[in-house]
Chain A
């Protein structure tokens, strides 16, 4: 076979492989990722489905009893708080007002989180939070 033709065939094979792999990636990510919802999208919906609940920890609602951690998560804009009950590790950055993600399902109006599923957003972004933080304003 002449080399130009051979190269063309190779190129076509490589490109189709790349397209196939990319399609696989897109398919897997949509089927295996979990849906992220904010409390306002959850309140009033039925129980039983597992998803990621994201939002801010409502200040003053964190309560620890034995191994259980109870708190409320609101939408990022502060509305529509939903009670959450959780067991497992609590990351250090977890506190009032932080953005968190928990995986679990709604059971009778309370979001029951899976063990160890709590994620707090990375502290490298504390700066941006400080800028939006009311206590920052006091100093300025």
Chain B
């Protein structure tokens, strides 16, 4: 089987090289046959990488440890679902995933454009196939996903326990899919630049791919945050970790891009800006892969250890410099068809939003690379979380405001007389929100948060007003009831109203972020079984302790009774799981506790606030016993050690020492997840093809039919 995987991969490299060459030859010679052949080569590449993926997945399922990736990332005791997903926890597997999704996305876009854009498609094919060539070659010559172990070990190392979480199962493929989807608009932008056909046709063709990329990246970011909150035992969902930033940056730029392309489609402006944004987004997507995979951020000195770091860096440099030069050489073809003639217009608000998003990305990029930059110019310095917060906060607050201002202002040149009416209700809502929050809550302690809440009220009311007007104006036009008119009006322009829903979701998300980061209470409690402590309005009692030793892991479980204002609020069961390590140096008993440990958090989620708790048992009383056991049982078999561990944990559970509980009362954090889901739903609504678009396709075909009949 391993040969089949390797052979398919090798063949897919040939198809990728052929596709790129044939596409370029076809484009230059004008011979359509070569272009058609290159498209087929891309389909073949998709089929072959699919074969490789299937072979590798089958190996994971069959516990075939002759595959070195399987041996190092799975084991016979790994649950089936995690066997399936262990592939992308490895470097080799994630590169394979990249190449696979790339070949699928490329096939999809080439299939959709097989009869259109005859000038653009060959060059776009060449770019996509070139990227495919790079990633497949990287696997074949550097990462070796089909490296064989001989003899095959009897047991694998298993999957890192921290990654055993449903969110972590789908998080990496979502991010990779998002990154890869960006390559489609990027490839068409490059094609448009090469042939100097810089109208909006490349934008329109790939708009859905950009929106899909946005949605996948957002889903990936959401799952990562959710995993961090639920699994990592520190109670936060975002830490400005380089790995997180790597995914956030292309998402922010894609957000900007999705807005600025509307300006080009309608007004023929911002052409240089749009090609630059999509190239930037793609470079950042590659940079994301690079940052995660090269280990450069751990230390510049560790950089050499990674096999894929240097080639990826070369690719990033090539793409960045190449696209910059290409754009610079086409400046004459990128002249705007007109200028922004008024600061008070939809297009100038879009421009402001774009600048905020790009500014935010630049700050994050700077902060992420700062340890490296400072190390190069002097001594290494850390760009810590508070600094990221401090710098991005003002931009985020302004972004919330402008999200609401945009929809209130029409396109084109405005005299401004009509504006007062549009701003009345949103502004009133903002003032009311600020006043009420100031009087009723302590939100004023944090001025930034208060301003953000007021702006959020402005924007939500503005968006609601727009949605309402959509229904109302159709009602007055057609005489339908509002209940009938509203869904029809909205589904006639899915892109716009889906966008509005996404905006509302993101504003809600930012409200959740502001509230939970500015007004959380967090305490570390040290409790004996039976003891209670007070955290804000809550009384926390450590009810009981139990130990649950299993082959996969030993679980230490606590039960916490939480009362709020004297009434029962929740019964939480946070736990700590210890996964044994294979490291022999810590002793036969020590290995049960010295391996990875994960937290199962106890969480009571609510619309008002979350009560979050993680459990940290004190193992120091076990230490002497373990050491005694280590010497006594040094030469015995696994069975004796298992019995000893059972006895040891049972003994510990009888009189557990005081344990530490981290307790966090996190206001409005549930709205982070709700807002994100609303935003994703809005994006999905916008991607879905409209009835009108389908009609338009049919109409185009009918027109073509008419022309051809006339000709015959």
Contacts and interface: CB of A to CB of B under 8 A. Distances in A.
A and B touch in the complex (CB under 8 A): yes
Given A29-B370, A63-B620, A89 B72 contact: no
B526 A66 contact: yes
A140 to B, nearest CB: 7
Interface of B: 68, 71-72, 89-91, 149, 153, 157, 160, 162-163, 231-235, 239, 241-244, 292-293, 295, 298-299, 301-302, 305-306, 339, 359, 362-363, 366-367, 370-371, 374, 379-384, 387, 390-391, 524, 526, 582-583, 585-586, 594-599, 614, 616, 618-620, 658, 660, 662
10 contacts: A29-B366, A33-B381, A66-B658, A67-B660, A92-B233, A93-B596, A127-B89, A132-B305, A139-B72, A139-B153
Contacts of A89: 233-235, 524, 614, 662
Given A36-B382, A99-B298, A127-B90, A64 B162 contact: no
Interface in A15-42: 21, 25, 28-30, 32-37
A135 B306 contact: no
B179 to A, nearest CB: 14
B616 to A, nearest CB: 7
Contact of B367 (A29, A36, A54, A135): A29
Interface of A: 3, 7, 21, 25, 28-30, 32-37, 52, 54, 59-60, 63-67, 76, 87-93, 95-96, 99, 101, 103, 119, 121-128, 130-132, 135-136, 139-140
A52 B387 CA distance: 14
A64 B618 contact: yes
Given A33-B374, A139-B157, 18 more contacts: A25-B362, A28-B390, A29-B366, A29-B381, A29-B383, A33-B370, A35-B379, A37-B379, A52-B382, A54-B382, A65-B620, A122-B242, A126-B160, A128-B295, A128-B306, A130-B72, A135-B583, A140-B149
**Secondary structure call for the B interface:** mixed
Nearest to B620: A64
A7 to B, nearest CB: 7
B355 to A, nearest CB: 9
Given A63-B620, A65-B620, A130-B72, A21 B359 contact: yes
Nearest to A128: B295
A7 B338 CA distance: 13
B304 to A, nearest CB: 11
**Secondary structure call for the A interface:** mixed
Given A33-B370, A36-B371, A91-B233, A121 B298 contact: yes
A49 to B, nearest CB: 13
Given A92-B231, A135-B583, A139-B153, A76 B366 contact: no
Contacts of B596: 92-93, 95
Nearest to B228: A122
A14 B292 CA distance: 35
Contacts of A7: 339
A84 B374 CA distance: 25
Nearest to B662: A89
Contacts of B339: 3, 7
